[in-house]
């Protein structure tokens, strides 16, 4: 099994735990907002993580770190650059872990 698929499945387990925690928050405290927001945002970042993990074989150090965005104005990190890939992956995994932590904190602190 590839390392990327292990990471992806680990975050799916984290996502399912987050759904269970939000249901527990909803039953104990009656809060509806975490039930909708935290798993919804986590699902978006899980899909983006799957998108990023597909880039691991198509990298080249000659690619620029920042590229123009396809949609909208500005620049974004280029996942085809090895450093941009690592930074993007760390940001996505960090956001997923922070969302899980916020959900856990909302359960512990009524």
Q: Which of 6, 22, 7 is nearest to 99 (CA)?
A: 22
* CA–CA dist 60, 42 (Å, integer): 29
By DSSP bridging, strand 66-68 and strand 75-77 are antiparallel
Q: What is the pTM of this model?
A: 0.79
- pLDDT for 33: 67
Mean pLDDT of 80-108: 88
Q: Using alpha carbons, select from 85, 93, 20 the residue that is nearest to residue 58.
A: 85
Q: Do 63 and 80 meet the contact criterion of CB atoms below 8 Å apart?
A: yes
pLDDT band at 58 (very low <50, low <70, confident <90, very high): confident
pLDDT at 85 over 80: yes
Q: H or E stretch including 66?
A: strand 66-68
Residue 81, domain extent: 3-108
* pLDDT on residue 91: 93
- Number of structural domains found in the chain: 1
- pLDDT tens-digit series, residues 12-25: 988 888 888 888 87
Mean pLDDT of 76-103: 90
């Amino acid at each position: 099994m590839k390392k990327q698929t292990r990471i992806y499945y680990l975050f799916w387990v984290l996502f399912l735990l987050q759904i269970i925690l939000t249901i527990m928050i909803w039953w104990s405290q009656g809060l509806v907002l975490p039930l909708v927001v935290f798993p919804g945002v986590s699902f978006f970042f899980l899909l983006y993580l799957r998108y990023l993990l597909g880039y691991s074989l198509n990298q080249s150090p000659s690619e620029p770190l920042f590229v123009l965005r396809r949609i909208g104005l500005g620049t974004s990190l280029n996942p085809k650059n090895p450093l941009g890939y690592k930074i993007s992956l760390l940001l996505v995994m960090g956001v997923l872990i922070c969302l899980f932590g916020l959900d856990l904190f909302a359960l512990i602190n009524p």
